[in-house]
Chains A and B, each alone.
Chain A
């Protein structure tokens, strides 16, 4: 005889605004997995919740900040990284994490992404890539594979997508990784690692989006894309980043912690400038 056990508390309740649940995400969406991984990484980080700040832009993933029981900001479309830069410069002691979608981070926010990576701003960026604009109903963006069908690419996408880890690594980030929502353990560990990295730390998380992307691209059910991840993912931390673009045509889906290097962060260089300049001059 089966017994129904009703969970009264979830182990991550202290990090979630549980009164706001259920969340708005569709069945089969991967964003909840990423949010849970972020919460697990916060617990594992040893940094108390009041020292974490969660910042999002606009879109499905942009809703993560509102569910996290932290100092949280739901900002304008594409500007989360710029917002986080200002906040983190004033309070470099806080652990600032941007969580947002591919359209927000690398399409409308693409300029902020590459410049934050170039400056090596000491923040964490988790970009959930579901290959389309889900919140607005399924339009193509800067990550949509060539040939993929969306409401704005009805005959197949005629744009080449970004290879995001390659871009962010080239721009100068300290840490660059890619995982899928199937790789939960690796994802938690990578997010935890980001929290101790000095400099710009970036993860692309490949996620299913059954109703708006999957429906038209052979992944209509919740598990279809997860099954694709299981079949095609290849862990290669030393991958040649120029060759890890995603076509969703059965080619190897390369995941791993690709870049983890010590470079001076933006915050460190600015603090050094202030040390050299402060007290100099007679005012005016």
Chain B
């Protein structure tokens, strides 16, 4: 009888499929979703694969219900995920906020499509960058990873679960239509070589001497249902016992604790890759599928004698401010191409010590390398 786990080795796989295999290896055994293009292959494959490994994959009536179900599943002890695209992502904002204040580790995959509202479901976009960070009301912090290849989609899905478990917080994998639907080589390592992080669980015996929400702690262990913790988990601003409060002092402490879990760990969360930046005068800052065009553009610019480089941001939130500050002190210009009309360019500009040029292109296709090359040539001139 098969274990149902993916075979280690080299595979040729669709990005959306690789995401599911990664989730299984990360220990995820609960998926709740709602069909939406171009993410539906994640849901479909989860429905095939999760029961094979003893997991549950269910369809909910909408995306609000999906994320609510994930948080319930998470407090029942499961690693839980969903996948969606723009319109569904909008509906998820409500309960992403709930996961944040309830400190529930869950993973949300957004395979971005083009345009506002229903937009163009079948074509690529990167228009949800700001929504992933600021979409849910009130102050919150999110962790967002942006893959640019099927391999990165696989690796970052595992990373997303690990980060969610370690920090007890929702984590978003912000993919896009190209990465989701593209078939590409992916190397699946043997299970024993994959680092898997498990959440710290609250021992109910400790609750006689400690509070479940210690706001001076780094990350509190999680009270799992049915273990005797009998803790109140509240969507209202709550004190260190978990009880609702309107105390301004407690509200301030709670928010600083919740935000601090991510802000204090930002440097460990930042992931990025640099190509040919050592002697670069112009550096393209790109993420997601755009990084593929950007790398090609940098090589073309080099062939024309321009000292160009690429900074690929993999963690886009919390924003890797130091990386931009450091790099921008030794280059002349940063060029930020995005498949939207200007989103991540704003924090880049906020932290850059040099001029920043934005390249915006969002008709529903990947930015062609020559468009970026043109911008690099202007920047170098």
Contacts and interface: CB of A to CB of B under 8 A. Distances in A.
Interface in B182-229: 223, 225-229
A281 interface: yes
A279 interface: yes
B71 A86 contact: yes
Interface in B11-29: 11, 13, 17, 21
A126 B77 CA distance: 25
A269 to B, nearest CB: 11
Q: Interface SS of chain B: helix, strand, loop or mixed?
A: mixed
A273 B59 CA distance: 14
A85 interface: yes
Interface in A77-121: 78-79, 82-91, 93-94, 111-112, 115
Interface string A105-148: 00000011001000000000000000000000000000000000
Given A79-B64, A90-B56, A50 B72 contact: no
Contacts of A91: 76-77, 225-226
Given A66-B232, A72-B233, A281-B52, A82 B226 contact: no
B58 interface: yes
A85 B68 CA distance: 9
A6 interface: no
B239 to A, nearest CB: 11
Interface string A29-50: 0000000000000000000011
Contact of B76 (A49, A69, A90, A278): A90
B236 A74 contact: yes
B230 interface: yes
Contacts, number: 169
Nearest to A92: B76
B308 to A, nearest CB: 39
Given A53-B225, A87-B76, A87-B225, A278 B60 contact: no
Contacts of B377: none
B51 A278 contact: yes
A203 B228 CA distance: 27
B139 interface: no
A282 B7 contact: yes
Contacts of A93: 226
Contacts of B95: 76, 79
B69 interface: yes
A58 B234 CA distance: 10
A224 to B, nearest CB: 31
A48 to B, nearest CB: 9
* B: contact size bracket: 35 or more
B280 interface: no
Interface in A54-84: 55, 58, 65-66, 69-76, 78-79, 82-84
A75 B95 CA distance: 9
Interface in B42-65: 48-49, 51-56, 58, 60-62, 64-65
Contacts of B102: 73
A85 to B, nearest CB: 5
Contact of B2 (A58, A89, A282): A282
Nearest to B51: A277
B345 to A, nearest CB: 33
A29 to B, nearest CB: 18
Contact-size category for A: 35 or more
B230 to A, nearest CB: 6
A56 to B, nearest CB: 10
> Interface centre among A58, A83, A273, A279, by most B CB within 10 Å?
A83
Given A76-B235, A278-B51, A85 B226 contact: no
B250 to A, nearest CB: 15
A274 B56 contact: yes
Interface in A169-201: none
Nearest to A94: B226
A232 interface: no
B32 interface: yes
Contacts of B236: 74
A76 B51 CA distance: 29
Nearest to A276: B51
A89 B68 CA distance: 13
B5 interface: yes
A83 B77 CA distance: 14
Contacts of B235: 58, 74-76
Contacts of B89: none
A20 interface: yes
Interface of A: 17, 20, 49-51, 53, 55, 58, 65-66, 69-76, 78-79, 82-91, 93-94, 111-112, 115, 270, 273-274, 276-284
5 contacts: A50-B230, A76-B97, A84-B72, A89-B30, A91-B77
The 4 A-B residue pairs whose C-beta atoms are closest, nearest first, are: A86-B69, A87-B72, A86-B72, A277-B51
Given A74-B234, A89-B69, 12 more contacts: A17-B243, A50-B226, A50-B228, A72-B232, A72-B233, A82-B60, A82-B68, A86-B69, A87-B225, A89-B56, A91-B226, A274-B51
